[in-house]
Chain A
Amino acid sequence: MGEAIVITSGKGGVGKTTTTANLGAGLAKAGQKVALIDADIGLRNLDVVMGLENRIVYDLVDVVEGFAKLKHALIKDKRFENLYLLPAAQTRDKTAVSPEQMHELVSHMKEEFDYVLIDSPAGIEQGFKNAVAGADKAIVVATPEVSSVRDADRIIGLLEAQEKHKPFLIINRIRASMVKKGDMMDIDDMIEILAIELLGVVPDDEFIVVSTNRGEPAVLNPQSKAGEAYRNITRRLQGENVPMMKLDDDSGFLNRLRKLMGFKS
């Protein structure tokens, strides 16, 4: 029996889909059998982030409505044969499925997969309720910004009201140089405010843009700092005790000089 984890945030654009794609690819690379569900019906994106947009035939709504079988709707990843994606419908809206239907679908998928990762839409309405319905655990993604932390707090309140397992926090897009100057909240500030367990910290990394352009999750790139952070989170999800990555500040004069001269640290 596998485990279902929802990745959510409240606020849009903080990295839910990127996180889902990277954790999925990371877990699959570690040999786990993984299914990703894009629960953002009407605004699907996990397919493009994974580079699988050309292979979609059926989607989540087709499966829920009994129009297609689950095994026909699941898209096999290009890189890993133990990684699958169930895409969202693009021409329907959040009301096309109910929380009960999602719960049933996810329970069914947990029989076959070690991990079922559910990419939640932004917001706190039905799309969020659908995404959360079948999950055993929740990961809340937040960036060190006032608006993101506020929405994360709201989401944590809603998750706790559902008596799910207390959610875990991933702090995304942290910038060491700004933290050092006192212009960005640091890890301790965020934990103090949100009061939940930290699962990982992902540094702001330009490579994420490149990897999304290509449809290749950064976790598979050994040079990417964000990729390294996602690899660590993947190991923690599997029960390993991995220390938090040290965030280095590469804004200093020497570092910039080194970069300029091609000695990329």
Chain B
Amino acid sequence: MFDLFARVFGREDASKDVAKERLRLVLVHDRASLSPQALENLKNDLLKVISEYMDIDDEGFRVDFSRHDDAMALVANIPIRNVKRHSV
């Protein structure tokens, strides 16, 4: 009865909504999980593309999944050594 009271006055979320939201996040992570080899391939491909535009430090280059409050993101940390001069 107290539960119902609390819910009517918006003090507590229905727990199934909590479950759904948590599942949504965890499944994005589960489904996106790449094997270490695949993550390495992704990193090398990114490196190749970005290198066409700037000189980057491939030692400090990091790619990882990161979890924010309500979203998953692929976060790349790419230290730049030097930016090529625009020829156009």
Contact = CB atoms under 8 A, between A and B. Distances in A.
Q: How large is the interface on A (under 10, 10 to 19, 20 to 34, 35 or more residues)?
A: 10 to 19
A153 B16 contact: no
A153 B22 contact: no
Contacts of B31: 153, 157
Nearest to B24: A193
B15 A183 contact: yes
B15 A153 contact: no
A181 B16 CA distance: 9
B16 A184 contact: yes
Nearest to B3: A181
Interface residues of B, number: 16
Contacts of A153: 27, 30-31
Interface in A165-218: 179, 181-186, 189, 193
Contacts of B20: 185, 189, 193
A186 B16 contact: yes
Contacts of B4: 181
A153 B25 CA distance: 13
B8 to A, nearest CB: 12
A110 interface: no
A183 B23 contact: no
B81 to A, nearest CB: 40
Contacts of B14: 181-183
Residue of A150, A182, A193 contacting most chain B CB atoms (<10 Å): A182
B15 A154 contact: no
Contact of A146 (B7, B19, B30): B19
A181 B14 CA distance: 8
Contacts of A189: 16, 20
| CB-CB nearest 10 A-B residue pairs | A182-B14, A183-B15, A185-B16, A146-B19, A182-B16, A153-B27, A146-B23, A149-B23, A189-B20, A184-B16
Interface of B: 3-4, 7, 14-17, 19-20, 22-24, 26-27, 30-31
